[in-house]
């Protein structure tokens, strides 16, 4: 019988650590999408991030103002912020076997849990947070919860230059795109993860190949019929549809970019240099190897370059093994506690108690549309993929399935 009593988890409960190294390995691209400005929730799959295209001379920018997304998935699709993850996944990999996955989450949730383990890992002090959790068979889904999903910056408010910098230093590749999200899989701490996160941009010609490359596995052939519709090319006919039982509109548009070409952009005033270790947890959780650190003096930005920081991120991972092993223990503890609570709960951190509390969630509300829950039961038809491609056999499903063998000056709205 499921317990209705909240479960507390303290840092002292996480002392029994595995001997296995807590490292991320076997990173693979799974899916991606771009949010499109429209009256109904609309995504383009696979979408494409803005292209890094910096000016050649110093550039003075206006400070950020207007509408800023804190959690765009929840802002645009509040009834099911995780639905775009699954829709894009099953469009690109129609036979993906989600039953092989242990954890499905946004990067932001990993960052919050890590900040509880090590409060010094957060650039700001550890703040109260909440994460929605639902267990389906052997899979645990973590859904980001925010007190507000958007923010409107008034002209007299100063919240930095980060968003204006992205507009000026990247080139939008997709008409009406308002944000690009990537979905990857990896192994960590003996668990198989699917992680979604927002990408600021990409460099068109990666200078180095890392382990985070897109595995072809038929994906290139599946997507080669797709071409990017930019703001200068609107003649391309775009296939648009709404899945049965969904309120989302999906456009088959964009192109897959290599994982090692995607980048994170950070802006900061010139006299406060940004140390890689301040943002390493964020880059580590998504295995983002490219970073732009842009410095300004009252809005005047000098030359900004995309750096390859893969070695620094790996170094941070090796230097923080104790914290990362505790992160694994915390995630496993949350999974077990939610099962005891009946499979639905909210994970809360309150600085007054300085503990994680797993609170059972009552009611019939679910995180996903009804049809997506069938993916944990279906063994045959998973539907059609992009441009009507239908999987030929279950062998493709096994290839697509997650492997079980190891292998500050902006609003912080990053996932």
Q: What is the pLDDT of residues 61-110, one digit of tens each?
A: 999 999 999 999 999 999 999 999 999 999 999 999 999 999 999 999 99
pLDDT for 16: 83
Domain total of the chain? 1
Q: What is the pLDDT of residues 187-200, one digit of tens each?
A: 999 999 999 999 99
Residue 12 in any domain: the answer is no
Residue 346 in any domain: the answer is no
Residue 354 in any domain: the answer is no
Q: What is the pLDDT of residues 299-350, one digit of tens each?
A: 999 999 999 999 999 999 999 999 999 999 999 999 999 999 999 999 999 9
Q: What is the pLDDT of residues 348-405, one digit of tens each?
A: 999 888 999 999 998 878 999 999 999 998 644 333 344 443 333 333 333 333 333 3
Q: What is the CA radius of gyration of the chain?
A: 21
- CA pair distance 290, 356, nearest whole angstrom: 33
Residue 413 in any domain: the answer is no
**Who contacts 262 (Cβ-Cβ below 8 Å, separation ≥6)?**
49, 182, 199, 201, 202, 288, 290
* Mean of pLDDT values over 119-131: 85
**Confidence band of 413 (pLDDT split at 50, 70, 90):** low
Residue 332 in any domain: the answer is no
Q: What is the pLDDT of residues 14-46, one digit of tens each?
A: 988 888 899 999 999 999 999 999 999 999 999
Mean pLDDT of the chain: 86
C-beta of residue 401 within 8 angstroms of C-beta of residue 26: no
Residue 404 in any domain: the answer is no
Residue 17 in any domain: the answer is no
pLDDT surpassing 60 at residue 13: yes
Q: Mind spelling out the 3-state secondary structure of 179-245?
A: EEEEEEEEEECCEEEEEEEEECEECCCCCCCCCCCCCCCCHHHHHCCCCCCCCCCCCCCCEEECCCC
**Structural domain for 217, as ranges:** 22-327
Q: Classify each residue of 318-327 as buried b or exposed e, where b means 16 or more C-beta atoms within 10 Å of its C-beta.
A: eebeebbbbb
pLDDT for 110: 98
More confident residue, 120 or 95: 95
Q: What is the pLDDT of residues 295-308, one digit of tens each?
A: 999 999 999 999 99
* pTM metric for this prediction: 0.86
List 297's β-bridge partners, or say none.
300
pLDDT for 1: 58
Residue 376 in any domain: the answer is no
Kindly report which listed range (121-125, 283-287, 360-364) carries the lowest average pLDDT score.
121-125
pLDDT surpassing 50 at residue 408: no
Measured from the Cβ of residue 28, the count of other Cβ atoms closer than 10 Å reads 20
- CA pair distance 170, 68, nearest whole angstrom: 17
- CA pair distance 213, 28, nearest whole angstrom: 7
pLDDT for 378: 65
């Amino acid at each position: 019988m499921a317990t209705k009593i909240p479960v507390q988890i303290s840092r002292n409960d996480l002392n029994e650590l595995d001997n296995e190294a807590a490292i991320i390995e076997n990173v693979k691209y799974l899916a991606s999408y771009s949010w499109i400005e429209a009256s109904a929730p609309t995504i383009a799959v696979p979408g494409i991030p803005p292209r890094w295209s910096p000016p050649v001379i110093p550039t003075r920018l206006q400070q950020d103002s207007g509408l800023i997304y804190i959690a765009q998935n929840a802002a645009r699709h509040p009834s099911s912020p995780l639905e775009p993850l699954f829709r894009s996944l099953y469009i690109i990999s129609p036979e993906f076997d989600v039953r092989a996955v242990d954890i499905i989450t946004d990067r932001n949730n990993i960052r919050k849990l890590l900040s509880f383990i090590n409060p010094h890992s957060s650039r700001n002090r550890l703040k109260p947070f909440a994460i929605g959790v639902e267990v389906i068979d052997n899979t645990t889904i973590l859904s980001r919860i925010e007190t507000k999903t958007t923010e409107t910056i008034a002209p007299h408010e100063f919240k930095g230059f980060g968003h204006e910098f992205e507009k000026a230093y990247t080139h939008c590749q997709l008409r009406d795109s308002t944000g690009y999200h990537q979905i990857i899989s990896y192994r960590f701490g003996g668990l198989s993860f699917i992680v979604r996160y927002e990408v600021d941009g990409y460099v068109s010609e990666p200078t180095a190949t890392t382990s985070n490359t897109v595995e072809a596995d038929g994906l290139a052939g599946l997507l080669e019929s797709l071409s990017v519709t930019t703001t200068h090319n609107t003649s391309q006919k775009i296939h648009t549809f709404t899945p049965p039982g969904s309120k989302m509109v999906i456009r088959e548009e964009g192109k897959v970019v290599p994982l090692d070409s995607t980048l994170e952009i950070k802006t900061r005033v010139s006299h406060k240099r940004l140390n890689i270790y301040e943002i390493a947890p964020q880059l580590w959780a998504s295995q983002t190897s490219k970073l732009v650190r842009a410095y300004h003096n009252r809005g005047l930005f000098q030359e900004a370059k995309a750096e390859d920081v893969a070695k620094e991120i790996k170094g941070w991972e090796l230097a923080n093994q104790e914290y990362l092993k505790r992160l694994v223990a915390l995630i496993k503890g949350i999974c077990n506690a939610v099962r005891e609570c009946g499979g639905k709960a909210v994970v809360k951190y309150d600085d007054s108690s300085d503990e994680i509390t797993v609170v059972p969630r009552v009611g019939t509300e679910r995180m996903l549309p009804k049809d997506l829950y069938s993916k944990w039961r279906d063994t045959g038809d998973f539907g059609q993929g992009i441009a009507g491609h239908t999987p030929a056999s279950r062998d493709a499903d096994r290839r697509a399935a997650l492997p079980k063998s190891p292998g500050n000056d902006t609003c912080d709205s990053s996932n």
